[in-house]
Amino acid sequence: MVMGPTCGMILADLGAEVIKVEPAGGDRTRTLLGAGTGFFPMFNRGKKSIAINLHAPDGAALARRMAERADVVVENFKPGAMEKYGLDWGSLSARHPRLIYVSCKGFLPGPYEHRTALDEVVQMMGGLAYMTGRPGDPLRVGSSVNDIMGGMFGAIGTLGALVQRGITGRGQLVRSALFENNVFLVGQHMLQYAITGRAAAPMPERISPWAVYDVFTVAGGEQIFLAAVSDAQWRSFCDVLGFADLRDDPRYVDNNARVRERATLIPLLRERLAGRDAAELAALFERAGLPFAPIRKPEQLYDDPHLKATGALTDLRLTDGARAGEQVPSVLLPFTLGEQRLGAGAQPPALGQHTDALLAGLGLDPGQIQDLRARHVVA
């Protein structure tokens, strides 16, 4: 629903022609509610859609013909699913040795590979939920981080395989997996234990390496993150806030001393900052070059002046649901090439929008296409 589509979306934004093979009833993310409402338009922009019933022998044959013309095939199914249709790596690469085959899974091959994975599953078993929540209260990260990053690593592997194919003339199998992606995310905490012998505490209970690195509740109940991660920043922090007594206090002479005094320093700072205005603090910290951040909700980012000024947002046309045909703002890839943001390419496709054109490209005439549609092989 997210991992494989993310991989294809990235390649589409980079300029590839990406064909999404959907079941005749459509990708189910087209109709998800709640937190899944944005999945289809977000992760399927820039693609063409062909609707094929892979359970029909003629449908699977059409998909194989398409795959044999492709540079890259991306799949995101349980192990063994693609073999049923002759769309697995072994079957396709035997006839198409230049093919790059990207397999997006829950787990890389091993004892867990046949388990059913979700982002929550790997976050729970992979230490990320433990690190995010409070002790005894593991908490899923508030985004599909493993699905999205797993798709990113699939795209990165694809680009590496394309470079190698330019050298060797041969394609290869690329595998990306949710669990291994999650383990990569918590690798820094694993290394902390390996080096120090002390287990990393969950983030709300962590032993911070920085004395001032916290969210403060200020006037009107607003919240703002403030930090001072060096001795120079601490002095500037005290100067802009008028805390000369803290700057000159020998208990806070350097960062490690301040870390040892956090139990008393942070409550003191909370008390002094409680009546300050968040916007005033942000202005002071920006002028001084100090780290700060207002606490925002995702919907507030649509009005972010930096995102609007740098072209980070684009309008997408909805293809499904009550608002089909309307345009909504979405987010572009977070990097530039040649000093420019990449566009979103084509709009998200309607179900089967390109079926006829793609089948014609395989050499089928209108009568053959109509016959396939009448037999519910394509839609």
The residue-averaged pLDDT of 61-72 equals 97
Which structural domains are found in the chain, ordered by start?
Answer: 3-186+316-374 (3.40.50.10540), 210-298 (3.30.1540.10)
What pLDDT sits at residue 150? 98
Separation of alpha carbons 351 and 20, rounded Å: 10
Q: Which residues, in sequence order, are CB contacts of 124 under 8 Å at separation 6+?
A: 130, 138, 140
What pLDDT sits at residue 234? 97
DSSP for 82-121 reads GGGGT-SHHHHHHH-TT-EEEEEESS-SSTTTTS---HHH
What pLDDT sits at residue 344? 81
The residue-averaged pLDDT of 60-71 equals 97
181 pLDDT tier (thresholds 50, 70, 90): very high
* Partners of residue 329 on adjacent β-strands: 315
Separation of alpha carbons 256 and 230, rounded Å: 10
What pLDDT sits at residue 223? 98
Lowest mean pLDDT among 92-96, 120-124, 158-162, 322-326: 322-326
The residue-averaged pLDDT of 304-333 equals 94
The residue-averaged pLDDT of 297-307 equals 96
Percent of the chain with pLDDT over 70: 100
Separation of alpha carbons 190 and 194, rounded Å: 6
What pLDDT sits at residue 98? 98
Would the pLDDT of 207 be above 80?
A: no
Separation of alpha carbons 252 and 262, rounded Å: 10
Would the pLDDT of 44 be above 80?
A: yes
Would the pLDDT of 188 be above 80?
A: yes
Neighbours of 143 (CB within 10 A): 12
Separation of alpha carbons 206 and 210, rounded Å: 11
The residue-averaged pLDDT of 302-325 equals 94
Would the pLDDT of 272 be above 90?
A: yes
Number of alpha carbons in the 13 Å side-chain half-sphere of residue 195: 7
Tokens 């080096």 found at: 195
What pLDDT sits at residue 208? 82
Q: Long-range contacts made by residues 122-128, C-beta under 8 angstroms, separation at least 24? A: 122/146, 122/178, 122/179, 122/181, 122/182, 123/182, 125/179, 126/179, 126/182, 126/183, 126/185, 126/186, 127/182, 127/183, 127/186, 127/189, 127/190, 128/182, 128/185, 128/186
Whole-model pTM: value is 0.92
Provide the mean pLDDT of the chain. 96
Tell me the pLDDT tens digit for each residue of 19-40: 999 999 999 999 999 999 999 9
What pLDDT sits at residue 196? 95
